[in-house]
Structure 1
């Protein structure tokens, strides 16, 4: 049997307001700040990781804090990030909760096969809450402001926007061994959304591809997404994915040690950045699980520069 990806690992987006971002994702959405670190390629910028109570792979939404303008929306991009809850009752609870927090939620409806509603964060990050009907694991955080039965369970599906399906679909199916499941017409001319599934299937392992040839190309900025990462269990499996990309002559970063996981980056033909990341060793490798995110964490190769790095970071609170 061909190697299979395990689902969505994480999604990394962009904020220009780290303090406001921290407030929204921890106080309004109730996620746990599981790692406060810096962008390993640009140590002047925070890299914030929000996840479930156990910092599980597949639950973390991460943000680079960059002083940039707003995203210019368009195609050739990751267009919407879905977060999973466990029931239709939770969707109703969340609509009331978001309204009380000053957020305008959309209507609950079936969208691309799942009961969902859309909303945006204060910087225009496009989000969706999806009823996953209790599928998969749930690791609530006792420190969350959200009742345990309504807490966000993890990521997925993630929606891409591309002008042309064929080259992206070829990478998803022929290289990454995803399965095309179904399509959903959008009602806008030749636009439609195609659903692809990774090994285990279900909302946590789906990638949705919206074909939108009428849109201009997106411009990256605050409120936009930088990349999406897919799960592989071990470093040995990551080696196999590295070899597989090379066998298709796909340019890649080569394997990169991110300390909390090991990664491989490449772009699909419509220019969207993909990552394959290992499930381990995880965020508890350098601080206790019970106190994740309470101090600035730095990988060993940056530890000697801690004083200099901390001096250039603005306070989050």
Structure 2
């Protein structure tokens, strides 16, 4: 049984309002779920994705007002990619970032693909990656409810980069336990460091890769706003989820056991470099409690939190998303 690819990436933000402005107004993504952090219901959890909230397209944020800066380093998910159709789209985004005053770099090659690195308002390190017709995991459905033209819309998650002091233990987990395969490498853009190694799962392509950067010169990351909390990988259904629950435990890794998130079932564990991985089911999806046409328009709570709605809403700070 193979993991299908990336499911979602969850990041920390210091201000949900500015975060919403960036991801919906600048990037043109759809807010597909406005809910709470189920482990701390006094904090919002926002999910942005494609038009249908498809698995593999979500970048999510935990709202923690007043959160301090991130100090980058190893044992981190150091960058998150977002897919666009082609290199022409990168040219559109390069001009748009300049227009909006968004910190960005030049278009460069990573893993033989055209890419454009940039940062959001929290300093989250992001990369647009051009599919250019490449085979692999299917892209998402463009959201047409923004001013971004359909042909340049963000189509889902691309590769995540893990930055590590010593890569071998993490590579062992990816390949021996999770079934990833080595598919290539490319030179580090940071200087005279080892090539970045590329590992893929499922059908491969931009939506199914983990890139490993080895940087023994760096200290360990001190997380803050803009840092990645965890990356989740796609499990197609509950039957295969049961398989992975048993498999992770059989390798002796400490893990969360089964976690019911309502929109998906989850399993969390830390790999040897202490990065938090999650396995998440594609089913039932984000439209289980809201019609697709009105995703993200109200505060959604799973059934096990719904009886506490009045209490939860009373403890949440007012949040005006426009």
Question: Which residue number corresponds to residue 304 of structure 2?
Answer: 301
Within the candidate set 36, 39, 47, 1:49 is matched to 47
Deviations 1:83-102 (A, max 9, x none): 00001110000111111111
Q: Does 1:255 align with 2:258?
A: yes
Q: Does 1:165 align with 2:167?
A: yes
Question: Which residue number corresponds to residue 113 of structure 2?
Answer: 114
Within the candidate set 215, 220, 230, 1:217 is matched to 220
Instruction: State the alpha-carbon separation in 1 of the partners of residues 114 and 145 from structure 2.
Output: 28
Q: TM-score, normalised by structure 2?
A: 0.95
What secondary structure does 2:105 align onto?
coil
Question: Which residue number corresponds to residue 191 of structure 1?
Answer: 194
Structure 1 runs of 4+ aligned residues shifted over 4 Å read none
Shift of 1:145: 1.9
Question: Which residue number corresponds to residue 227 of structure 1?
Answer: 230
| 1:5-16 correspondence to structure 2 within 5 Å | 5-16=3-14
Q: Does 1:126 align with 2:129?
A: no
Shift of 1:249: 1.2
Shift of 1:313: 1.8
Instruction: State the alpha-carbon separation in 2 of the partners of residues 133 and 51 from structure 1.
Output: 20
Question: Which residue number corresponds to residue 26 of structure 2?
Answer: 28
Question: Which residue number corresponds to residue 139 of structure 2?
Answer: 137
Structure 1 window deviating more from structure 2 (97-106 vs 119-128): it is 97-106
Question: Which residue number corresponds to residue 245 of structure 2?
Answer: 242
Question: Which residue number corresponds to residue 288 of structure 1?
Answer: 291
Deviations 1:200-245 (A, max 9, x none): 1001001001111110000111110000000010011011111111
Question: Which residue number corresponds to residue 87 of structure 2?
Answer: 88
Q: Does 1:71 align with 2:70?
A: yes
Deviations 1:32-86 (A, max 9, x none): 0000000000000000000000100000000000132111111100000000000
Deviations 1:164-199 (A, max 9, x none): 111011000000010011122326344331100011
What is the total number of aligned residue pairs between the two structures? 315
Structure 1 window deviating more from structure 2 (288-297 vs 106-115): it is 106-115
Question: Which residue number corresponds to residue 179 of structure 1?
Answer: 181
User: Does the CA contact (< 8 Å) of 1:191 and 1:213 recur in 2?
Assistant: no
What secondary structure does 2:305 align onto?
helix
Deviations 1:296-317 (A, max 9, x none): 0001111111112112222322
Instruction: State the alpha-carbon separation in 2 of the partners of residues 106 and 112 from structure 1.
Output: 17
User: Does the CA contact (< 8 Å) of 2:57 and 2:140 recur in 1?
Assistant: no
Q: Does 1:200 align with 2:230?
A: no
What secondary structure does 1:274 align onto?
strand
User: Does the CA contact (< 8 Å) of 1:233 and 1:279 recur in 2?
Assistant: yes
Within the candidate set 148, 162, 178, 2:150 is matched to 148
What secondary structure does 2:175 align onto?
helix
What secondary structure does 1:293 align onto?
coil
Instruction: State the alpha-carbon separation in 1 of the partners of residues 15 and 96 from structure 2.
Output: 23
Instruction: State the alpha-carbon separation in 1 of the partners of residues 9 and 140 from structure 2.
Output: 18
RMSD: 1.1
Instruction: State the alpha-carbon separation in 2 of the partners of residues 50 and 227 from structure 1.
Output: 16
Shift of 1:109: 1.1
